[in-house]
Structure 1
Amino acid sequence: MSLAQSTTSRRALLSAAALLPLAGGRAEAATAAPGSARDHYARAAKLAGRDPVLTTLVKALTPGVTPAQPKAPKPLKIFDNVAVVSTGFVSVTALLTSGGVILIDALGSPDEAGKVIVPQLKSLGVDPSAIKYVVAAHGHDDHFGGAQYLADRYGARVMMSPADWKLVAAEKPPNAPKHDLDIADGRRLTLGDTTISFHHTPGHTPGTVSMIFPARWRGRRHTAMLWGGTNPPAAVADKRIYLDSVLAFAATMRKAGVDVELNNHGAADYGLARMEELRAGAAANPFVLGRARTQRFMKVMEAMMRGRIATDLEAGG
């Protein structure tokens, strides 16, 4: 199955009233910038400086690094309308709207859904029966494993990109959800007072989806992004696709005025540590990076991906 084949098949996401096309298109295809792998990694390190969010990202994208398996944090509302439930390795982000809950990812199994997501949402005062949609950011089982449980128990609709529905159907992993709703690139879903926009950012998988949505904190509105798949793919061609996605999504973020950065693997972006800073009473919300710093985050990711491509090419890949 080719990426081109998998991305051209798109069903309607929801009813026409809930979906609005986004203006603009993808960035032009990325090409490897001049310089050695060492040059690109040095640029990433310089961009990151001593910023713990950015230095953590550099480490997460460094070749040969094994993804961290940190201790699970207690659940937390990181914004007035955004809650995070996590096993440590992977996190679920709940958007709390006036019309119910949009859940981004669903952990790895029905057992984790029933024993982690449900009780931890309840501990934050969130009724799990209000979950209307479960969005799988990509087609790996640590992100969709609990989705069917939530669909069966609460009637939630399960959403994934067409390319990753195909990926799941081909691989037939345990706990795969039944094919339900397709996420079309550049579409919006409105639930209650909240609109979330979906953007295909392939690379980690053929159909990885990243999102932009409002986040409110102490009376102020912010614009958040959530990058859908961090670990780079093995093949050089797929790394180039990943780099394309970084460039395109950075441009989308700039246009939307994104000032909040989130990730479904909180050890990859200092997110778990930021949860603890917030829990301890940080004066400012540490997830609000500001527009310039969120763009720098993407620049670091770009430099690291160029380095990863160069590393492969220098090794004869």
Structure 2
Amino acid sequence: MPLEQSRRTLLVAAALLPLTGGRAEAAPRRAKDYYDDAAELAGKDPVLRNLVKALSPGAQMPEVKAPKPLKIFDNVAVVSTGFVSATALLSSGGVILLDALGTPDEAKKIIVPQLRSLGVDPAKIKYVVAMHGHSDHFGGAQYLADRYGARVMMTRADWKLVTTGSPARDLEIADGQRLTLGDTTIAFHHTPGHTPGTVSAIFPVRWKGRPHTAMLWGGTNPPTATAEKRTYVSSVLAFAAHMRRAGVDVELNNHGLSDHGLVRMEQLRGNGGSANPFIIGRSRAQRFMKVMEIMMRGRIASDLEAG
């Protein structure tokens, strides 16, 4: 086996174990060591490389043109401003909307007409889930609640973040809660770090009639405080375990610039559905989470090095 291939194989194997396992603790690792390991684990994988870039210090999301709406699975539709996306999970009993973009105007002019353009009746939105309590994720929720009677869901911790002009306090999401609508059950897991009450979801999807299991990470951008970054790492580890038990093989994100998601939408649109780039497989889904963990450990190390 060539030396470089051997080195990469060993790194991947080591990275799938806890970072503290089998390593002397006497010499703390530098931030650069973590960033290099994450880049090595990502290799040439465009999804993982994009994640490394998104979690690097000083990362900025560029302004991009909003994509056209798209059904990325038989039962999943995505509408987006480019910066942030709303994901509609379509069930026999109605629609669960994960995030609601940033304003009532975006709900009125993007979510409603773009869902209709995909053959989805927005009047069937039964639940709007704010994956965390930042306005770009709940801004359109009250409009949808007022117009269609949708119930708005958020964790108790993040309901406390919202201010005047935000949706009226409605349903609270408990850690591990399952929501069933028609033929679909979605599981919510608290993944604090980005905000105190961020949730991430695991749910069934279908591609050309074949079943898969998807995850949607609820809040990607690292928090400022070191303690909250440590919380973020704990959330990554816990959610990766939930993913492993559920057999997650599909990765989704509400910020498509963080995970190559916008590019993958165009790939899917362009290939006529011959292959679905959001189906990444179970081992690659676990590597995605491992890259996230390593990058966050690097951000913690960067904080400590900065004093």
Partner of 1:110: 104
Alpha carbons 1:48, 1:300 under 8 Å: kept: yes
- 1:287 alignment partner, one of 278, 283, 288: 278
Amino acid at match of 2:154: M
Partner of 2:151: 157
CA distance in 2, matches of 1:187, 1:129: 25
Question: So what's the TM-score if we normalise by structure 1?
Answer: 0.88
Q: Any idea what SS the aligned residue of 2:167 has?
A: coil
Deviation at 1:68, TM superposition (A): 2.5
Q: Check if 1:129 corresponds to 2:115.
A: no
CA distance in 2, matches of 1:136, 1:63: 26
CA distance in 2, matches of 1:162, 1:301: 26
Structure 2: unaligned runs, 5 residues or longer: 1-17
Output one character per residue of 1:259-279: Cα deviation in whole Å (capped at 9) or x when no partner: 000000001000000000000
CA distance in 2, matches of 1:306, 1:76: 35
CA RMSD of aligned residues (A): 1.5
Partner of 1:266: 256
- 1:79 alignment partner, one of 47, 52, 73: 73
Alpha carbons 1:30, 1:247 under 8 Å: kept: no
* Residues 18-57 of structure 1 aligned to structure 2 (within 5 Å): 34-57=28-51
Deviation at 1:117, TM superposition (A): 0.3
Output one character per residue of 1:153-194: Cα deviation in whole Å (capped at 9) or x when no partner: 0000000000000111xxx15x30000000000010000000
Partner of 2:229: 239
- 1:308 alignment partner, one of 294, 299, 303: 299
CA distance in 2, matches of 1:120, 1:254: 33
Q: Check if 1:179 corresponds to 2:178.
A: no
Q: Any idea what SS the aligned residue of 1:38 has?
A: helix
Amino acid at match of 1:246: V
Alpha carbons 1:30, 1:243 under 8 Å: kept: no
Output one character per residue of 1:210-263: Cα deviation in whole Å (capped at 9) or x when no partner: 000001001210000000000000000000000110010001100100000000
Q: Check if 1:62 corresponds to 2:56.
A: yes
Deviation at 1:31, TM superposition (A): 8.1
Amino acid at match of 1:201: T
Amino acid at match of 2:282: R
* Residues 144-223 of structure 1 aligned to structure 2 (within 5 Å): 144-168=138-162, 172-173=163-164, 175-223=165-213
- Residue correspondences, number: 284
* Residues 219-230 of structure 1 aligned to structure 2 (within 5 Å): 219-230=209-220
CA distance in 2, matches of 1:113, 1:283: 31
4+ aligned runs moved over 3 Å, structure 1? 29-34
Given the superposition, is the C-alpha separation of residues 152 and 134 from structure 1 closer, same or farther in structure 2, using an over 3 Å criterion?
A: same
The percent of aligned pairs where both chains have the same amino acid is: 75
Deviation at 1:74, TM superposition (A): 0.1
CA distance in 2, matches of 1:278, 1:30: 35
Structure 1: unaligned runs, 5 residues or longer: 1-28
Given the superposition, is the C-alpha separation of residues 194 and 311 from structure 1 closer, same or farther in structure 2, using an over 3 Å criterion?
A: same
CA distance in 1, matches of 2:297, 2:255: 22
Amino acid at match of 2:114: Q
CA distance in 2, matches of 1:31, 1:39: 14
Deviation at 1:30, TM superposition (A): 9.7
Deviation at 1:283, TM superposition (A): 2.7
Deviation at 1:65, TM superposition (A): 1.1
Deviation at 1:287, TM superposition (A): 0.1
Alpha carbons 1:37, 1:311 under 8 Å: kept: yes
Amino acid at match of 1:284: A
Output one character per residue of 1:54-96: Cα deviation in whole Å (capped at 9) or x when no partner: 0000000000111232210000000000000000000000000
